[in-house]
């Protein structure tokens, strides 16, 4: 039974499903759900993420993990658990680059990939060497306890099912999916749970008449699970989103942030291509922070990706690239990819939240002026594109028309600095 058939079956039985139930089935229904049947990232998929753009992303995360290992008093085993690891591209780049970091750290690092997707199997179609099969767990939650290290994710939370609400004639209504004859349509109804209004109250948001907003009710449970898994260490969450006042601004996001991606085009039609397109919404970092504090996770840093990567040393990689004497095409490809990772209006505006449990209030390099410092960075090699990374300038990705099309992949997010939002 396809996701669409299951959605129709449930609507016929109950009259409607909430948008969150629709999204859960479209993305994660075991028989044909979008995320359980494919690797959506890359030329043959629907969009790109930072790990595919340039190995510097993973290299700099490895540098940050190395400091975290140091802050935990250099344990013999430092566990990095990546949730929503997809095909394992970030895992590969972190592991590769950790070889250049202190040998004790490289030996201590255990990197586990967790994803709801069972992962690239023998007929996954992924190019050989692209998949990381070692240390992979298929699970929806955080199936671990006693972690000393870091639980990290890149673009995980934007894939969680969201409820959609709107204000109609002064009262909060929920967006439902129903059938009109044989056609799937959206309609409005009473909120399926009081938690929707409660969430808006908690983050101090009053939606305007006619404004649509997405609410991810799984953030709290996810945060509790993450905290329960961690004995001592860090949580590093990278995703697109905002603090609540910005995310729910009636002026800037009157129509919410829900978008769909299909073959590198933003289509914005969730009821179409069910199970064959991505459906995603921006993350509410205020709720994540609040949930963290309640679950024993102290906030340690919040920055845009541009600032986070530059503080860890990306701008230094960029400067040193020119001195490497690479063939011109290689230089240009690497230069363009490094720019892409921090480009305002694109990946550079993603948010990075660091939280800690039982680690005090250390200054993490990615959030503190000065970063790792010249003594460490100066001795590290500049990571370079491999055949497993995106080649922005080589037309290997025919659906993408260079810079302009890439703009659309991340929904034209605003370029606000974190400081503007707090
Ligand atoms: C947008 S993709 C990002 C993949 C990868 N992190 C990257 O940056 O390329 C989201 C991934 O999260 C996974 N996912 C979604 N919900 C999950 C959950 N509750 N637990 C574990 N993985 C989940 C999906 O299967 C998918 O692989």
pLDDT in tens, 228-237: 999 999 999 9
Task: Provide the 3-class DSSP secondary structure of residue 383.
Answer: coil
pLDDT score recorded for residue 177: 98
- DSSP code of residue 73: T
CB of 239 closer than 6 angstroms to any ligand 1 atom:
no
Mutating to test ligand 1, I would choose from 20, 89, 93, 116 the residue with most ligand atoms within 8 A of its C-beta, which is 116
- pLDDT level of residue 395 (50, 70, 90 thresholds): low
Q: What is the mean pLDDT of residues 102-108?
A: 96
pTM check: above 0.85: yes
Q: Does 325 have pLDDT greater than 80? A: yes
| Cα 230 to ligand 1 centroid, rounded to whole Å | 20
- Convert 13-52 to b/e letters by CB count within 10 Å (16 or more is b): eeebbbbbbbbbbbbbbeebbbbbbbbbbbeebbbbbbbb
CB of 41 closer than 6 angstroms to any ligand 1 atom:
yes
Q: What is the mean pLDDT of residues 184-211?
A: 98
- pLDDT level of residue 120 (50, 70, 90 thresholds): low
- Which residues does residue 266 pair with via DSSP β-bridges, in sequence order? 261
Q: Looking at the domain 40-158+218-421, which fold is it? A: Rossmann fold (3.40.50)
Q: Which residues contact 37 (CB under 8 A, 6 or more apart)?
A: 275
Q: Does 134 have pLDDT greater than 80? A: no
Spatial separation of the C-alpha atoms in residues 94 and 63, rounded to whole Å:
9
The answer to which of 24-38, 58-72, 224-238, 380-394 has the lowest mean pLDDT is 380-394
pLDDT score recorded for residue 414: 32
Closest CA to 176 of 341, 414, 381, 16: 16
pLDDT score recorded for residue 405: 33
Atom 21 (ligand 1) nearest CA: 115
Quick one: what percent of the chain has pLDDT higher than 70? Answer: 90
Task: Provide the 3-class DSSP secondary structure of residue 39.
Answer: coil
Spatial separation of the C-alpha atoms in residues 146 and 144, rounded to whole Å:
7
Half-sphere exposure of 370 (CA within 13 A, CB side): 5
Q: Are strands 109-115 and 136-138 parallel, antiparallel or unpaired?
A: parallel
């Amino acid at each position: 039974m396809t996701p669409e058939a299951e959605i129709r079956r449930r609507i016929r039985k109950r009259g409607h499903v909430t948008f969150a139930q629709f999204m859960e089935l479209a993305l994660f229904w075991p028989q044909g759900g979008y995320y359980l049947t494919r690797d959506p990232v890359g030329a043959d998929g629907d969009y790109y993420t930072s790990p595919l753009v340039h190995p510097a992303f993973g290299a700099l995360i490895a540098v940050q993990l190395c400091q975290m290992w140091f802050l935990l008093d250099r344990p013999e085993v430092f566990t990095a658990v990546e949730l929503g690891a997809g095909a394992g591209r970030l895992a590969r780049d972190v592991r590769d680059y950790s070889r250049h970091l202190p040998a004790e750290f490289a030996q201590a690092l255990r990197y586990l990939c967790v994803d709801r997707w069972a992962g690239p199997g023998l007929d996954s179609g992924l190019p050989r060497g692209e998949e990381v099969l070692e240390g992979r767990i298929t699970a929806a939650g955080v199936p671990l306890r006693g972690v000393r290290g870091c639980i990290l994710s890149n673009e995980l939370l934007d894939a969680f099912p969201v409820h959609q609400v709107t204000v109609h004639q002064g009262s909060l209504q929920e967006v439902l999916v129903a059938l009109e004859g044989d056609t799937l349509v959206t309609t409005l109804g009473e909120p399926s749970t009081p938690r929707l209004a409660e969430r808006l109250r908690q983050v101090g948001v009053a939606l305007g008449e006619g404004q649509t907003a997405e609410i991810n009710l799984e953030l709290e449970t996810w945060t509790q699970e993450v905290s329960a898994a961690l004995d001592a260490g860090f949580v590093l969450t990278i995703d697109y989103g905002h603090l609540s006042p910005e995310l729910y601004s009636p002026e800037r996001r009157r129509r919410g942030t829900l978008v769909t991606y299909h073959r590198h085009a933003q289509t914005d039609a969730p009821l179409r291509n069910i199970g064959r397109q991505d459906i995603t919404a921006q993350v509410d970092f205020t709720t994540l922070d609040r949930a963290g504090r309640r679950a024993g996770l102290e906030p340690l840093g919040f920055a845009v990706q541009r600032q986070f990567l530059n503080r860890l040393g990306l701008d230094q990689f960029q400067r040193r690239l020119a001195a490497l004497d690479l063939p011109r095409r290689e230089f240009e490809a690497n230069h363009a990819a490094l720019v892409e990772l921090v480009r305002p209006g694109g990946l550079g505006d993603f948010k990075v939240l660091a939280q800690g449990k039982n680690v005090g209030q250390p200054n993490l390099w990615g959030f503190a002026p000065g970063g790792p410092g010249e003594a460490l960075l100066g001795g590290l090699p500049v990571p370079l594109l491999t055949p497993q990374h995106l080649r922005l300038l080589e037309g290997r990705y025919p659906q993408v028309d260079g810079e302009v099309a890439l703009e659309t992949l991340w929904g034209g997010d605003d370029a606000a600095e974190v400081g503007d939002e707090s």
